Amino acid sequence: MMRMTSRWSVCSLLCLAGWAGAQTGTQGSGAAADTNRTRASSNVKSANAPASKPRREAARKPTAPAAAMSTPAEVMPALEPELIALADQVHLGQIACELGQTVVITTDDKSPGRFFMHHKQQTYHLAPVMSQTGALRLEDPRKGAVWIQLSNKSMLMNSQLGQRLADECQSPAQAAVAQAMKLAPPVHLLEGGRDVARQ
């Protein structure tokens, strides 16, 4: 009787051990399957994910100015002393004109007495010329530009087209003269006086 009981106990223990091992194997295979499913899902997501966009450049390349004033490659012939004296009277910088226009006049460092004028999309290379009227006159013979400077205003003309490109242009000094002329109108030349505008 004792031997049968012992055999029964050993058999029971072996059965329980086998059942526990089966359960553990089942759980392990289930966990492994879950892990494989998670990896497969991650691979699918990464495969379907859109490619990352390249980063934009930190700084864009600087653009060139819309209309830079050009300098001629060759050095122009020297001007006569009389024309150099006229060039010393030219008003420089940005000058406001009527209708919201502006002209910009700068010196030509390579050719003393000559100037660059920028108006809209055009750049003119001007030099003083003698004038019978007494007005200060600058010309660009290649492009036909003519700049006439009076004491109270200036104007830009195109002699080739016969058109006035900019009118009523005034530097600060010319604006001051124009204001003085309003307060004290000039005496007519036929009356023996002097034109204040020519002072």
Provide the mean pLDDT of the chain. 75
Alpha-carbon torsion, ordered 67, 68, 71, 73, to 10 deg: -80
**Tokens coding 151:** 């004491």
Q: Look at residue 148 and give its three-state secondary structure.
A: strand
pLDDT for position 119: 97
Rounded to an integer, what distance in angstroms lies between the CA atom of residue 113 and that of residue 122?
20
Residue positions counted in the chain: 199
> In this model, does residue 98 exceed pLDDT 90?
yes
Q: How far apart (Å, rounded) are the C-alpha atoms in residues 157 and 94?
A: 17
Note whether 118 and 109 are within 8 A (CB).
no
Fold classification of 81-170 (topology level): Lipocalin (2.40.128)
- Give the tens place of pLDDT for each residue, 167-199: 999 999 999 999 999 998 766 666 654 444 444
Task: Give dist(CA 175, CA 2) in Å, integer.
Answer: 134
Q: Which carries the bigger pLDDT value, residue 67 or residue 149?
A: 149
Residue appearing with tokens 């204001």: 179
Q: For the chain, what are the domain ranges?
A: 81-170
Non-local (6+) Cβ contacts of 168 within 8 A are: 97, 98, 153, 155
H helix or E strand, kind and range, residue 198 = none
Judge if pTM exceeds 0.85: no
Radius of gyration of the chain (CA): 46
